[in-house]
Chain A
Amino acid sequence: MQYALMIYAEPGYGEALPEAERTAVIAEFSALAEDARCVAAVQLQPAETATCVRVAGGRTLMTDGPFADTKEVLGGLVLIEAANLDEAIEVATRIPVVRLGGVVEVRPVVAR
C-alpha cells in the first residue's frame, strides 16, 4: 500500500547545521529519492511563500502564510510504496529531519 510521509521541521534547520552534516543530510535525501519504494518526493519552498485559499459566497479569499501557525512547518512530502506500516516507518526513520528535531507524519493513502 502507499504511504505519505509528511516532513515537518523548524524553518531553516538545515542552515544551522555544520557544513559536513549538511552534505550528509543532502546525500541521505538523495538516497531516499533513489529508493525503489519511493513513488514521489518533493521539497517545499519556505512557509512564507504559502498562500491559503478559500471560496466563500462565490469570492475567492486569500490569506498569506501557511494554514497552521506552528513552530514546525510542512517542508516536504514523500510518497512511498510499502508492504505494511512497519516498512513505512522504517523508511520514515531514514529521513534525516527525524534525528534533527523534526517529525515525519506517516499516513496511509486511500487506495483507488
Chain B
Amino acid sequence: MIEEVFRDEWGRVLASLVRFLGDFDKAEEAAQEAFAIAAERWQEKGEGEVGGVPPNPVAWLVTTARNRAIDRIRRERTLAEKIHLLPAPETVMDEFDDTVIKDERLELIFTCCHPALPLDGQVALTLRALGGLETAEIARAFLVSEETMKRRLTRAKTKIKATGIPFAVPDAHLLPDRLDAVLAVIYLIYNEGYSGRVDLAAEAIRLGRVLATLMPDEPEAHGLLALIMIHHARRRARFSGEDLVLLDDQDRSLWDHAQIAAGRAVLDRAVALGGRGAYVIQAAIASLQIAERIDWPQVAEMYRRLAEITGSSVVELNHAVAVAQAGDPAAALRAVDRLDLDGYLYFHSTRGELLRRLGRDAEARAAYRRALELATSTPEQRFLTRRLEQL
C-alpha cells in the first residue's frame, strides 16, 4: 500500500517542491526525506497506536517536505550569518495551504523534456522525476553503470539551473514543438522496453497516462498512449522462446484483451478530439492490424497519411506492404522500387516477399539473400533462412 502511494505520488510531490524551492536537487532531497519519514510513520501499528496512510497523502508529503526544507534553509542561513560569508537564500516562505496541492507535473514534464537538454538526459530525468525510479534502476534499464547514470542526471539538473530552463508549460506558439519533444521521450522509453525490458514499457504507459490526464484535450497525447497500450498488450505473444513471432502467427490467446480494449477507448477519444497527428494514425494502424479480419485498404490509407506527415521512406515501405495485402502486389512492388533504402533489411525482405507473390522466384531469392546479409540478430537470421528454404 505505502509503496503504491510512493510510486503514484512521487511526481506530484516532487513537482510541487520544485516549484516551492526553485531547485531540483533541493526538491529531490526534501521529497526523499518526506518519503522516508512516511515509510516509518505510515506502517500499520499495533493496538492503541496511530498509523496507516493519511487521508491526503500528497498534502502530507508535500507539507512534511516543505517543513524539512524550510528548517534546512533556516539552519543554513543561521550558519551563513554566523560566518558572514554566504548570501542568504532568497526562497520565499509563504504560508501554504496544506489541503490543496496544485498538480504541477505538467510543468515538471516540460522541464525534464526541454530540448536544450541532451536526449539521454531528458529520458533519465523524466524517469527519475516523474516515474520515481531510482538512479540504479534507470542505470540497469539502459545498461550503463550507476555512476554514469548519476552523472547524466546531475548534468541535466545542472543545466536546468545554470541556463534558466523554466519550470512552466510553454506558451501556445511553442507548445506543438515542445509537446513533440515530450511525446518523443515517452515513446523512446517505451521502445527501450519493447525488446523485453518490460518495466520500462510499463513505465512509458504510466507516463503516457499521466500526460493524457494532464492534457485531456490534446489528441496526440491520447494517440501516443493508445499506441503504446495496444502494442504492449501483445508483448507475451511477440516471442516464442528466442524467436520473433510475426503478427499473423501470434497466439491471440496470449494478448491482453482488456488492455487492447482500454487502448482502443483511448484511441476513440483521440479521434473524437479531431486527432490527425502521427501518433493518432500509428495507434489507428495498430488497432486495425489486430482486428480479426484486417481492413487492408484502410491500413494502406492510414500509412499514406502517415507518410504525408513524416515524409519517411520506411513509412512508404509499410504503405506498400498494406497495398500488397489489399490485393495489389504489383503496385506495391513498383512503389517499393522507387524507394532509396538499400541499407535497410526490411526493404529487401519486403521486396523478396512481393517478388515471391508475383512468381518471380529467382529475384525473390536474391532479395532475401541481400536481406540476410543485413540481418544482425539471430531471430531475424533464422526467419530469413526459413523463407529462403521455402522458395
Contact surface of A with B, Cβ cutoff 8 Å: 1, 82-86, 88-90, 106, 108
B residues 142-180 with Cβ under 8 Å of A? 162-166, 168, 170-171, 174
**Min CB distance, B343 to chain A, in Å?**
28
* Chain B residue contacts of A89, Cβ below 8 A: 116
Looking at chain A's contact residues, the main secondary structure is mixed
**Min CB distance, B290 to chain A, in Å?**
41
| Besides the known contacts A89-B116, A108-B163, 15 further A-B residue pairs in the complex with CB atoms under 8 A apart | A1-B164, A82-B164, A83-B164, A84-B168, A85-B114, A85-B116, A85-B163, A85-B166, A86-B165, A86-B166, A86-B168, A86-B170, A88-B164, A106-B163, A108-B162
Q: How far is the CA of A90 from the CA of B164 in the complex (A)?
A: 14
Q: Which of A86, A88, A108 has the most CB of B within 10 A?
A: A86
27 A-B Cβ contacts within 8 A?
A1-B164, A82-B164, A83-B164, A83-B166, A84-B164, A84-B165, A84-B166, A84-B168, A85-B114, A85-B116, A85-B163, A85-B164, A85-B165, A85-B166, A86-B165, A86-B166, A86-B168, A86-B170, A86-B171, A86-B174, A88-B164, A89-B116, A90-B174, A106-B163, A108-B162, A108-B163, A108-B164
Q: How far is the CA of A85 from the CA of B171 in the complex (A)?
A: 13
Q: How far is the CA of A57 from the CA of B1 in the complex (A)?
A: 69
**Min CB distance, A20 to chain B, in Å?**
27
Residue on A nearest B174 in the bound complex, by CB: A86
* Chain B residue contacts of A85, Cβ below 8 A: 114, 116, 163-166
* Chain B residue contacts of A86, Cβ below 8 A: 165-166, 168, 170-171, 174
* Chain B residue contacts of A108, Cβ below 8 A: 162-164
* Chain A residue contacts of B171, Cβ below 8 A: 86
Q: How far is the CA of A110 from the CA of B168 in the complex (A)?
A: 23
* Chain B residue contacts of A106, Cβ below 8 A: 163
**Min CB distance, A39 to chain B, in Å?**
15
**Min CB distance, B288 to chain A, in Å?**
39
Residue on B nearest A108 in the bound complex, by CB: B163
Q: Which 10 pairs, one residue from A and one from B, show the smallest C-beta to C-beta distance? A: A84-B166, A84-B164, A85-B164, A85-B163, A85-B165, A108-B163, A1-B164, A86-B166, A108-B162, A85-B116
* Chain B residue contacts of A83, Cβ below 8 A: 164, 166
Residue on B nearest A2 in the bound complex, by CB: B164
Q: How far is the CA of A82 from the CA of B163 in the complex (A)?
A: 11
* Chain B residue contacts of A88, Cβ below 8 A: 164
Q: How far is the CA of A17 from the CA of B171 in the complex (A)?
A: 33
* Chain A residue contacts of B164, Cβ below 8 A: 1, 82-85, 88, 108
Q: How far is the CA of A53 from the CA of B116 in the complex (A)?
A: 33
Q: How far is the CA of A73 from the CA of B111 in the complex (A)?
A: 32
Q: How far is the CA of A99 from the CA of B299 in the complex (A)?
A: 38
* Chain B residue contacts of A84, Cβ below 8 A: 164-166, 168
* Chain A residue contacts of B163, Cβ below 8 A: 85, 106, 108
**Min CB distance, A104 to chain B, in Å?**
13
**Min CB distance, B165 to chain A, in Å?**
5
Q: How far is the CA of A90 from the CA of B114 in the complex (A)?
A: 14
Q: How far is the CA of A82 from the CA of B165 in the complex (A)?
A: 11
Q: How far is the CA of A112 from the CA of B366 in the complex (A)?
A: 69
**Min CB distance, A6 to chain B, in Å?**
14
Q: How far is the CA of A83 from the CA of B163 in the complex (A)?
A: 11
Q: How far is the CA of A72 from the CA of B168 in the complex (A)?
A: 34
Q: How far is the CA of A90 from the CA of B170 in the complex (A)?
A: 12
Q: How far is the CA of A63 from the CA of B322 in the complex (A)?
A: 63
**Min CB distance, A21 to chain B, in Å?**
25
B residues 299-339 with Cβ under 8 Å of A? none
* Chain A residue contacts of B166, Cβ below 8 A: 83-86
**Min CB distance, B116 to chain A, in Å?**
6
Residue on B nearest A89 in the bound complex, by CB: B116
Residue on A nearest B178 in the bound complex, by CB: A86
